[in-house]
Every structure is written in structure tokens, then in C-alpha cells.
């Protein structure tokens, strides 16, 4: 486990990209730090009658290219440092996808999995009102992330709208009945698969002969699994927080999706597979490894044992810089988070566009636009990487940094 902070790790990637595009010192200082960071107390009356005070954060990293955009996570790891790191990633991600948003992230340091729905709702409403003065459909637009979902977004939208008037575009990732976009829920996992298909074409992977392992079976992991299964790709390993399952012959993905849809832990599932721990899963035999749960799961301790030829970062920041170097030296290709999981924010952009225009797209249009955006981003990134002989991550950061620097310059930030 690395003892460096998440923000320090993301900044190492930023520094490598900034060096490649020869970012000027003044611009470097503006782009490296966050524009605004707030921490708020979130008091919640628990069902037991006890009052608990949680800590919530919202970090707005850079808004040169549009309103701040980024998810809200409820997790014990969600502190100011982690949220700051994720906000910075969002800035480079939105720019890389050429989506007209800036970067932000938010979170509450909490484990919501043992809270009642009423407690989570009360916490969400309190948090939303506490940060509402810096939110807005043209200012800062949250979305779901770890342990938050369409219901969380509905509570956020309702709390905000009760103070400022009906504002569906204040959050994305909403239920379709509240102005959500058909296709958005699947967009991150599906987008990761579109990018993997781009890599398949470029590198000649022959996906139909690959064995895939996916860590995390929540929104992103389960959609990636469903999409790959539909394409006939063999998924040999999956996991959630309770543990993992592995079968070299391939797992029965529809059965496991059905199992997980009723919120049952994968560790309790039965079938023709071996139970493995999450640590074992990451280093089990496969050609494609898709971490789709937490950050920093591949570090200097396990990077040497990863057996995959390609790592698709569906989670944010799953590979530490030390591990990134080990994977690179071993010839393992890494498709970086700001490219691989950008389907989420791209889909959020499509939802926001529909909300502000009060006009609904059909899901086919949503998916076609998403596929085009992801493929374009993969092609631009891989062409840049080839032209400069650098890994995809460095290319992706460099492209994002250049675009944000141009907008920041035009707006007179520097």
C-alpha cells in the first residue's frame, strides 16, 4: 500500500502531462490547485434517536471550460484529499472528452451501507442544502458515484429545488421519471467497453478470445459485465465488497446479475466457480483486468503479479503511479481512468443537455453519441501517445491539460 495521498498521486500524473506540453509556470500553478474547496458538517438524527455529525466536502477544481461537474461518493475513504484528487481527475476527463464542463467532486465520510434509507435521505438533504450556494445548473452539477445512485440524486434535486425552484439539471444520473436520460445508468460501464473495443481494433486483441476479470459489481462493473457478455466475451472473474468468484470456463453472468440485482452479496452466490478474495482476483489468470470498485487497488505490492495484458481503469485512480510504472515495464497496457470511465460524465452531459433544452432523446441516439464520443477520445489519445512515444495515460493528461490551459488563458485566469 502506498503511503502517498491520492492527491499526490493524481498530481504526479498531472506533472507528467504538464511536462509533455511544456506548461508555463504561471498556468501550472493555476491548474494544479483547486479553485474552491468546502467542508461542511452534516448532522443527522439517527433512527436510534442519537445525533451523528458527518463531514461532507465539495471541491471545484477548474471551471474554465464550463460548469463544475463530478460525482458525490459516500464512503469511509472520502476525505478532503481524496475528493480533491477526484475533482482534478474530472477536469482532465471532461476536457479529454471535449465535454463543456469543468471538474469537481464531493463526498461524505460515512459508511451508508449500515444506515436506514431514512437516515441516508436525511443526510443527503442536509448535505445538499449545506453546499447549495455553490451548486447550480450553470454552476456545479453533481452525479452519482460510490454508494450513491438515482435515488440519492432525486433527494438532492428535491432539496435544491425546494430552495431555488424546480431545477432538474442540477444533478445528473436521475431516474428517467425525473428527467434522467435512458442510457445514462449504463453509460460508464458501456463506455469502458466502447474504449476496450477501440483498443481491440488498434492492438488486435481479438476480444472474442480474451478472458476478462472485473473487480466491483456495482453500477460500473455490472454494466461492463453485461455489455461484454452480450458481445460473447468470456468473463472469468467478478467481485464485490464481500469477495470474488472465478471460473476459467467463464461465469454465468446473467445469473450473477440477477443475484446482485436483489442486493445479495456475491460471496453468498452458488454455482460452478471458486471463491476468491479481492486480492486474489486482481492477480488471477486473465487477459483483460477491469478494476471497477475502489482506488489504489493495484499498487507496488501486487503490480508484479498482475497476469492481464490490458488493464482498463473503470474505477477512478485504481493504479498507483508506482504500480503504473511496474505494469508499463512489464509491457502491460493501461487504459487510464480519465479515458476508460469517461462514459459516465459524457452520458451526464447528454442528460444535462436534454434537461436544459426540455427535449428528450431516444436511447438509441444516446448510445450512438456515446459510442462516437468514446471512440473519438480513444483515437485522439492513442494517436497522441504514438506521436510522442508515451503511454496512454500521459497522452490523455497532456490533451486535457492543453485544452484547459487554452480555455483558462482565453478567459484571463493567467
Catalytic residue flag (residue 105):
yes
Contact between 251 and ligand NAD by CB under 6 A: the answer reads no
Tell me how far apart the alpha carbons of residues 72 and 157 are, in angstroms, rounded to a whole number: 13
Residue 302 among known ligand-binding residues: no
Beta bridge partners of 54: 42
Residue 224 CB contacts under 8 Å (≥ 6 apart), including other chains: 189, 190, 192, 193, 214, 290, 292, 314
Question: In terms of Cα–Cα distance, which of 194, 126, 181 is closest to 150?
Answer: 181
Contact between 18 and ligand NAD by CB under 6 A: the answer reads no
Contact between 104 and ligand NAD by CB under 6 A: the answer reads no
Identify which of residues 17 and 318 has a Cβ nearer to ligand NAD in the complex.
318
Contact between 293 and ligand NAD by CB under 6 A: the answer reads yes
Question: 221: alpha, beta or left, given left = phi > 0 and alpha = psi -120 to 50?
Answer: alpha
Beta bridge partners of 274: 246
Question: In terms of Cα–Cα distance, which of 361, 67, 368, 365 is closest to 191?
Answer: 368
Contact between 168 and ligand NAD by CB under 6 A: the answer reads no
Residue 188 among known ligand-binding residues: yes
Site for ligand NAD in 186-215 (CB under 6 A): 188, 215
Tell me how far apart the alpha carbons of residues 207 and 197 are, in angstroms, rounded to a whole number: 8
Bridge-based pairing of strands 68-75 and 103-109 is parallel
Catalytic hit among 105, 174, 362, 409: 105
Beta bridge partners of 290: 214
Binding mask 227-246 for ligand NAD (x = CB under 6 A): ------------xxx-----
Q: How many other C-beta atoms lie within 10 A of the C-beta of residue 326?
A: 21
Of the candidate residues 66, 216, 237, 336, the single one contacting ligand NAD (CB under 6 A) = 216
Region from 24-32, 129-137, 289-297, 380-388 binding ligand NAD, contact rule CB under 6 A:
289-297
Identify which of residues 146 and 306 has a Cβ nearer to ligand NAD in the complex.
146
**For 84-96, b where at least 16 C-beta lie within 10 A, e where not — what string?**
bbbbbbbbbbbbb
Tell me how far apart the alpha carbons of residues 187 and 370 are, in angstroms, rounded to a whole number: 8
Chain centroid to Cα 94, Å, comes to 12
Contact between 296 and ligand NAD by CB under 6 A: the answer reads no
Contact between 313 and ligand NAD by CB under 6 A: the answer reads no
Contact between 144 and ligand NAD by CB under 6 A: the answer reads yes
Of the candidate residues 38, 55, 129, 294, the single one contacting ligand NAD (CB under 6 A) = 294
Identify which of residues 294 and 407 has a Cβ nearer to ligand NAD in the complex.
294
Contact between 106 and ligand NAD by CB under 6 A: the answer reads no
Contact between 367 and ligand NAD by CB under 6 A: the answer reads no
Tell me how far apart the alpha carbons of residues 312 and 193 are, in angstroms, rounded to a whole number: 9
Residue ranges of the alpha helices (H) in 358-391?
363-388
Residue 5 among known ligand-binding residues: no
Residue 310 CB, shortest distance to ligand NAD, in Å, is 18
Residue 348 among known ligand-binding residues: yes
Of the candidate residues 217, 350, 352, 366, the single one contacting ligand NAD (CB under 6 A) = 217
**Total of residues contacting ligand NAD (CB under 6 A):** 24
Residue 409 among known ligand-binding residues: no
CA-CA-CA-CA torsion sign (353, 357, 362, 368)? negative
Tell me how far apart the alpha carbons of residues 123 and 104 are, in angstroms, rounded to a whole number: 20
Beta bridge partners of 246: 237, 274
Q: Answer whether 398's CB lies under 8 Å from 17's CB.
A: yes
Contact between 60 and ligand NAD by CB under 6 A: the answer reads no
Contact between 67 and ligand NAD by CB under 6 A: the answer reads no
Of the candidate residues 62, 91, 210, 278, the single one contacting ligand NAD (CB under 6 A) = 278
Identify which of residues 89 and 385 has a Cβ nearer to ligand NAD in the complex.
89
Identify which of residues 255 and 383 has a Cβ nearer to ligand NAD in the complex.
255
Residues that bind ligand NAD (CB under 6 A): 144-147, 188, 215-221, 239-241, 278, 292-294, 314-316, 341, 344
Q: Which residues are annotated as a binding site for substrate?
A: 69, 93, 348
Residue positions annotated with a catalytic role:
105
Amino acid at each position: 500500500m502506498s503511503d502517498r495521498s491520492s492527491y499526490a498521486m493524481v498530481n504526479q500524473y498531472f506533472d507528467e502531462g504538464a511536462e509533455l506540453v511544456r506548461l508555463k509556470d504561471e498556468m501550472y500553478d493555476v491548474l494544479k490547485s483547486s479553485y474552491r474547496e468546502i467542508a461542511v458538517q452534516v448532522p443527522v438524527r439517527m433512527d436510534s434517536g442519537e445525533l451523528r455529525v458527518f463531514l461532507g466536502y465539495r471541491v471545484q477544481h477548474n471551471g474554465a471550460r464550463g460548469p463544475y461537474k463530478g460525482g458525490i461518493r459516500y464512503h469511509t475513504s472520502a476525505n478532503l484529499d481524496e475528493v480533491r484528487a477526484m475533482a482534478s481527475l474530472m477536469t482532465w476527463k471532461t476536457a479529454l472528452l471535449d465535454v463543456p464542463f469543468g471538474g469537481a467532486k464531493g463526498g461524505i465520510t460515512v459508511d451508508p451501507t449500515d444506515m436506514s434509507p431514512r437516515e441516508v435521505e436525511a443526510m443527503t438533504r442536509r448535505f445538499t442544502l449545506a453546499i447549495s450556494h455553490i451548486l447550480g445548473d450553470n454552476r456545479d452539477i453533481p452525479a452519482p458515484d460510490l454508494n450513491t445512485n438515482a435515488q440519492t440524486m432525486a433527494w438532492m434535486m428535491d432539496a435544491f429545488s425546494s430552495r431555488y425552484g424546480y431545477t432538474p439539471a442540477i444533478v445528473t444520473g436521475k431516474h428517467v421519471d425525473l428527467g434522467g436520460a435512458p442510457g445514462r445508468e449504463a453509460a460508464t460501464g458501456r463506455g469502458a467497453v466502447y474504449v476496450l473495443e477501440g483498443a481491440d481494433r488498434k492492438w488486435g486483441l481479438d476480444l472474442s478470445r480474451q478472458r476478462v476479470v472485473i473487480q466491483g459489481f456495482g453500477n460500473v462493473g455490472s454494466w461492463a459485465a453485461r455489455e461484454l457478455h452480450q458481445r460473447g466475451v468470456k468473463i472469468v472473474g467478478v467481485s464485490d465488497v464481500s469477495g470474488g468468484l472465478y471460473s476459467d470456463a467463464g461465469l454465468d453472468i446473467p445469473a450473477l446479475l440477477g443475484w446482485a440485482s436483489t442486493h445479495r452479496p456475491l460471496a453468498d452466490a452458488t454455482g460452478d466457480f471458486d471463491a476468491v478474495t479481492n486480492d486474489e482476483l486482481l492477480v488471477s489468470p486473465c487477459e483483460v483486468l477491469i478494476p471497477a470498485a475502489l482506488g489504489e487497488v493495484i499498487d507496488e505490492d501486487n503490480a508484479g503479479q498482475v497476469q492481464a495484458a490490458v488493464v482498463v481503469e473503470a474505477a477512478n485512480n485504481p493504479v498507483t503511479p508506482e504500480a503504473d510504472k511496474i505494469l508499463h515495464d512489464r509491457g502491460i497496457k493501461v487504459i487510464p481512468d480519465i479515458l476508460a470511465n469517461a462514459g459516465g460524465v459524457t452520458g451526464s452531459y447528454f442528460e444535462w443537455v436534454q434537461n436544459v433544452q426540455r427535449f428528450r432523446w431516444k436511447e438509441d441516439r444516446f448510445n450512438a453519441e456515446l459510442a462516437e464520443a468514446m471512440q473519438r477520445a480513444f483515437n485522439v489519445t492513442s494517436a497522441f501517445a504514438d506521436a510522442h512515444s508515451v503511454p496512454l495515460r500521459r497522452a490523455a493528461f497532456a490533451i486535457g491539460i492543453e485544452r484547459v490551459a487554452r480555455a483558462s488563458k482565453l478567459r484571463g485566469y493567467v
